[in-house]
Amino acid sequence: MSRIGNKPIALPSSVKVESSGTEIIVTGPKGKLSIEKFAGISIEQNGSNIIVKRDNDSKEQRAKHGLTRALLANHIIGTSQGYTKILLMTGVGYRAQKKGRQLVMSLGFSHDVVYDEPADVSIEVPEPTKVKISGIDKQRVGQVAADIRAYKKPEPYKGKGIRYEDEVIRRKAGKTGKK
């Protein structure tokens, strides 16, 4: 029995969910998202709650039941509130700035690193060492943040690099001198 799949999803008044053919469309004040509807999985609206149901108890149906419920809940939150990830740059001379639709970062390389902003995600630079990534699709926001972080992952000795705001870097002791 799927514990995640059986939980009802609270539906805000500003969000509409429609099931049509092979997809479920979620429309809210921030935008519109859709997910693929798997065979044997159905949704029903019960007042201000949405319940995801499955036809049978096969292993594949149970997996898709929980997956559909989680994706639908993420889309409802995304279209009503949106998602945000904040990246922090730590290191001497590490900074970022926006130039049009590009994020230009100085990361200690001989050249600046340029990242083109995707159409469905917005990137802001409130401070030179802070990058704010926002959007309505949780997966896309997380992927863009991971792509930017991959340019210079934090290292364990000095902690230099790009890290998530809530990430804790485990530090290691450096070399000890001869005694």
pLDDT of residue 5: 85
Separation CA 21–CA 43 (nearest Å): 12
pLDDT of residue 162: 96
pLDDT of residue 47: 86
Separation CA 103–CA 119 (nearest Å): 13
Angle at 13 (CA atoms; ends 8, 19), nearest 5 degrees: 60
User: Nearest-CA neighbor of 117 among 129, 130, 128, 132?
Assistant: 132
**Of all helices (H) and strands (E), which one includes residue 63?**
helix 59-80
Classify 140 as helix, strand or coil: helix
pLDDT of residue 149: 96
Separation CA 28–CA 35 (nearest Å): 14
Residues with Cβ within 8 Å of 116's Cβ and at least 6 positions away in sequence, in order, are: 101, 102, 103
For the chain, which domains are there?
A: 3-80 (3.90.930.12), 83-164 (3.90.930.12)
Q: What is the pLDDT along the chain (179 residues), one digit of tens a residue?
A: 558 888 999 999 999 999 888 899 999 999 999 999 998 999 999 889 999 999 998 999 989 999 999 999 999 999 999 999 999 999 999 999 999 999 999 999 999 999 999 999 999 999 999 999 999 999 999 999 999 999 999 999 998 999 999 999 999 988 886 76
pLDDT of residue 2: 59
If 0-12 CB within 10 Å is exposed, 13-18 middle and 19+ buried, where does residue 99 land? Answer: exposed
Separation CA 144–CA 84 (nearest Å): 11
Separation CA 9–CA 25 (nearest Å): 15
